[in-house]
Amino acid sequence: MKNKIIFEVITKGIKDKVLVSKKRRAKIKYWKNTIHIPTKYKNNDIYTTDFAVEEGFRVFNKKEESFVLANPISAGTPKYIPINTQRIYSGMPHFLRSKIVHEIKDWFKEFIRKSQIKPLDKSQYPFFAHLTIYKFNSKGYNKIPDIDNLSYIYMKCFMDVLKKDPENGGLGIIIDDSSEYYRGYCVDLRFTNEGNEHMVFRLINSTIL
């Protein structure tokens, strides 16, 4: 018997980054020695270079009444963290990892609810999942992202949302993602035009599993 698609969920775009700070903190620039302070900060009426603290020497802008910053361009701008499986599970603080996972799940719920998917019945188990990622690749084929790093966190969050687990935000579409019900997944990466990035998730029932 042929494999049968149980349902399909199509996202609008790809959530590839998470906002972690609406406004980056300004960081004061320190120099270990006054010799290393650039000439433009010396011998003029705008800057004062005699501020020595534990971290080193800092320069004060008398006109703007503020210290020279190490991050003048990024200070005050939003900070985003790119979604990458390896980065999330390798040394990232727990609270930050939880925030990213939570936002990915909430993003998926929007599209799952719009699809009006009903809970699976017994005849639709076991199943496997198929994910197709349509991604714009502006950096050339030598910069294609590792498929596992690109897909695993999305697949994990998607299945968690489908589970019957209301305490953790599960929608109860599937009983569980244990091997009794869920037999694995495959990923297909395809390249598309800029502005047309999206994901297609499919749950597929098969009698050969």
The model's pLDDT over 167-176, given as tens digits with 9 standing for 90+, comes to: 767 899 999 9
pLDDT at 165: 77
With beta carbons less than 8 A apart as the criterion, state whether 182 and 126 touch. yes
Domain boundaries, the chain: 4-21+78-205, 28-77
Closest CA to 4 of 123, 175, 115: 123
> Taking residues 168-192, what's their average pLDDT?
90
Question: Which tens digit of pLDDT belongs to each residue from 3-60?
Answer: 789 999 999 999 999 998 898 899 999 988 888 888 888 878 888 876 667 888 899 9
Contact 147, 132 (CB under 8 A): no
How many Å from the N-terminal Cα to the C-terminal Cα in the chain? 11
- The CATH class of the 4-21+78-205 domain is alpha beta
Cβ distance 45 to 62 under 8 Å? yes
Instruction: Write down the pLDDT at residue 86.
Output: 83
Which H or E element spans position 160? helix 147-162
Give the pLDDT of residue 162: 95
Bridging pattern class, strands 198-205 and 4-10: antiparallel
pTM of the model: 0.79
d(CA 27, CA 6) in angstroms, rounded, equals 52
